[in-house]
Amino acid sequence: MLLFTPDLVRDRDPWDVLEAVLSEVDIVQVRPKPVQGARSAVTEARAALELARGVLARTRALPEPRPLVLVNDRVDVARALADDGIAGVHLGQQDTPVTLARAVLGPAPLIGLSTHSASQVAGAAELAVDYLGFGPVYATSTKDYEQGLGPEHAWVAANASTRPVFAIGGIDRSNAADLVEVGRIAVGSAILCAADPRRAARELRTLIERA
């Protein structure tokens, strides 16, 4: 899963970077940078909507099977783009409750949920979610986590969960092989900040597919 935040590509064109890696990923989670200041809620919704539309347009140009496209946090955007091909939404623990998101979206769209502990993984078994994110596995500056939970906790989560689990947080080519027992990873900086994003994505896929 590619966590697509355009700001991470720095001085490059984010669309060029995205197009370069789409053949190497299975899911793109759209994550626009948070907006600060007045009217931020409206601005954030519009930014997420336009970014998701751009990602959908580029995936539609690909042959099947195409990467799925999810939007982070924004249930409203996922509903607005349901007929345009968006697959669903990813929610954090402090975002829209899963029960409300499912009521708004209906039974078909995917809903993912971030988890950070064994108790949250266990609790998710009672919720109408399709997959879990678990982490941060390693320290990550993207979310300001100075310490990760460790790969062994991700292994336990993946084995205990009744849903597919994506390990997340500080994952790169130096440690992805430690997560083959999980079998799924969600990555942002390790791909988007790489000198050769396509190669970085391919290397990560190769490492995790040894599972």
Q: Considering the entire predicted model, what is its pTM?
A: 0.94
Question: Is 75 within 8 Å of 90 (Cβ atoms)?
Answer: no
H helices within 22-117, ranges in order? 40-60, 75-80, 98-105
- What amino acid positions are annotated as catalytic residues? 31, 114, 143
Residue 81 burial (C-beta neighbours within 10 Å; 0-12, 13-18, 19+): buried
Tens of pLDDT, residues 134-179: 999 998 876 666 789 999 999 999 999 999 999 999 999 999 999 9
Closest CA to 8 of 45, 37, 33: 33
CB contact at 8 A, 39 and 82: no
- Amino acid identity of 78? A
Residue 147's pLDDT is what?
A: 83
Cα(102)–Cα(98) distance, integer angstroms: 6
* pLDDT tens per residue, range 113-123: 999 999 999 99
Summarised one tens digit per residue, pLDDT across range 22-46 is: 999 999 999 987 666 545 777 888 9
Give, in order, the Cα–Cα distances in Å from 179 to each of 90, 107, 116, 117: 21, 31, 16, 17
Least confident of 38-47, 54-63, 162-171, 199-208: 38-47
Domains and CATH numbers, the chain: 2-208 (3.20.20.70)
97-110 mean pLDDT: 98
In angstroms, rounded to a whole number, what is the distance separating the alpha carbons of residues 157 and 4?
A: 24
C-alpha distances (whole Å) from 125 to each of 102, 134, 154, 163 are 15, 14, 16, 8
User: Is the peptide bond preceding residue 107 cis, with omega within 30 degrees of 0?
Assistant: no
